[in-house]
Amino acid sequence: MAASLNADDLQAVAGGGLLHRRLLLKSGLAMATALAAPTVAQSAGPDAPPVLPENPSSPSWLHQPGKPFSSYGSPSRFENRVIRSIGANRDLPGNGVSWTPLESLEGIITPSSLHFERHHNGVPDIDPAQHRLAIHGDVSAPQMFTIDNLLRYPMRTQTLVIECGGNSNAGWHYEPIQRSVGAFHGLVSCSEWTGVPLAILLDQVGVDPKASWVIAEGGDAAIMNVSIPLAKLMDDAIVALYQNGERIRPENGYPLRLIVPGWEGVVNVKWLRRLHITTEPAMARNETSKYTELLPTGKARMFTFVMDAKSLITSPSPGQKMHGANIYEIKGLAWSGRGRIAKVEVSADGGRSWAEALLQDPILPRCFTRFRAAWNWDGKPAILKSRATDETGYVQPERDVLVAERGRNGYFHYNAIVAWGIDEDGAVRHVYA
């Protein structure tokens, strides 16, 4: 198949056989070649036994009626392994996380059912008729809003990444963790959020010009609270009622979630019930004991809200297998809490040389951007990396640079370049390189 491409197309633009991204833009031929190459997730290699239905030209579902309508759909039973992996406390099963299976998903939207979770004391079963949003503190007219009333306000929709400040924390370990990309980096998900711009409600309660902080509180059995600078909330926060077109799922904050674009997950308070307008932070547990990063100097970074640019190769990735020398499509995700992704580069030689990946539309601020690159793998050991640059010029750092700057005891905000080692058999492993 590769032979049908012209010689220029297959000219590597970086070490290890990375091809020019224009190859992916060519109509028909080039795209088909990239897609027809054995995809790492399937066992389509020459040694793999063919997995064909007994009679693909006339399967049984052509000859009997299918199931009737369903009032609420669900995935195919053949996709039942595409699930969140869960890490919870043994004595308190509602405390822990679940990771998005990034390696199994395409495009940029995370299905709501696969959105990552971080709960402190379980998922509350909130009756929206009994839920209120209270806004009080340094305001002239403290008010409570019902969900029914909020549904009557003008709304805004934004497609946004939410990333936990603790995502990817295994990256600080001395040895590279061997897990799927989702179970390592999957405390990040991307949804379309719709709700009332918070500035509208803040205007209506009459915020005192002296005020500078807002303490946001959730309605779970941890009554989780965090302090957020008022200016950011005035600027672009949403009190969201909808996720991916439907009302927010309970585990994502039903009936109301504070959405703070680009900022770490913990401030995107789920089950939002109270906003206390003040002049100083509360110094709550989740902004002191946690979500702070201890540096080698002994000082700790605090209120590190912005999630810096990051990228990951989701295919090929650990747990998947390459099947022999061929042209592969490398694909991955990039995002930045500071705005749009400007560029993603991919390396197949451990970072010695880089080729620019194709960024797939849409490229939205603070949203997943899907990138793709064509790779003519020669079947020899290789090290794949991706490196994101955002529109502010911020470049995702190499791991040794991040570790030198932050030490190993910070735990939160790990966004270093991720390296996958490919061996001669096509197995993919997480490596530090």
Candidate residues 86, 200, 401, 404; the one interacting with another protein per rule CB under 8 A: 200
* For another protein, the closer CB: 197 or 318: 197
Partner whose binding site includes residue 1, from ligand HEC, another protein, none (CB under 5 to 8 Å by kind): none
Residues from 305 through 364 that contact ligand HEC (CB under 6 A): none
Partner whose binding site includes residue 116, from another protein, ligand HEC, none (CB under 5 to 8 Å by kind): none
Nearest Cα neighbor of 228 from 240, 215, 239 is 215
The answer to whether 144 contacts another protein (rule: CB under 8 A) is yes
* For ligand HEC, the closer CB: 38 or 166: 166
Q: Which amino acid is at 99?
A: W
Contact pattern from residue 56 through residue 95 relative to another protein, giving x for each residue in contact according to CB under 8 A and a dash for the rest: ---------------------------------xxxx-xx
In Å, how far are 103, 136, 206, 326, 409 from 414, measured between CA atoms? 19, 35, 38, 33, 11
Partner whose binding site includes residue 166, from another protein, ligand HEC, none (CB under 5 to 8 Å by kind): none
Candidate residues 229, 339, 350, 379; the one interacting with another protein per rule CB under 8 A: 229
The answer to whether 282 contacts ligand HEC (rule: CB under 6 A) is no
The answer to whether 91 contacts ligand HEC (rule: CB under 6 A) is yes
Q: What residues contact 187, with CB distance under 8 A and at least 6 apart?
A: 97, 99, 100, 116, 118, 163, 164, 166, 167, 168, 265
Buried/exposed 317-342: b ≥16 CB within 10 Å, e otherwise: bbbbbbbeebbbbbbbbbbbbbbbbb
User: Which range of residues in 226-234, 271-279, 284-292, 369-377 is near ligand HEC by CB under 6 A?
Assistant: 284-292
Candidate residues 22, 285, 321, 429; the one interacting with another protein per rule CB under 8 A: 285
Q: What residues contact 299, with CB distance under 8 A and at least 6 apart?
A: none
Q: What residues contact 251, with CB distance under 8 A and at least 6 apart?
A: 115, 117, 119, 123
Alpha helices (H) in 97-209, listed in sequence order:
147-150, 181-185, 198-205
Candidate residues 76, 130, 289, 297; the one interacting with ligand HEC per rule CB under 6 A: 289
- How many CB atoms sit inside 10 A of residue 91's CB? 6
On whether the CB atoms of residues 217 and 224 are closer than 8 A, the answer is: yes
The answer to whether 289 contacts another protein (rule: CB under 8 A) is yes
Q: What residues contact 429, with CB distance under 8 A and at least 6 apart?
A: 176, 178, 318, 420, 421, 423
Nearest Cα neighbor of 96 from 125, 115, 117, 110 is 117
Residues lying near another protein in the complex (CB under 8 A) are found at 89-92, 94-95, 120-121, 134-136, 141-146, 149-150, 152-154, 156-157, 196-197, 199-201, 203-205, 212, 215, 217, 221-225, 229, 263, 274, 276, 278, 280-285, 288-289, 292, 294, 297-306, 409
Residues lying near ligand HEC in the complex (CB under 6 A) are found at 89, 91-92, 95, 120, 285, 289-290
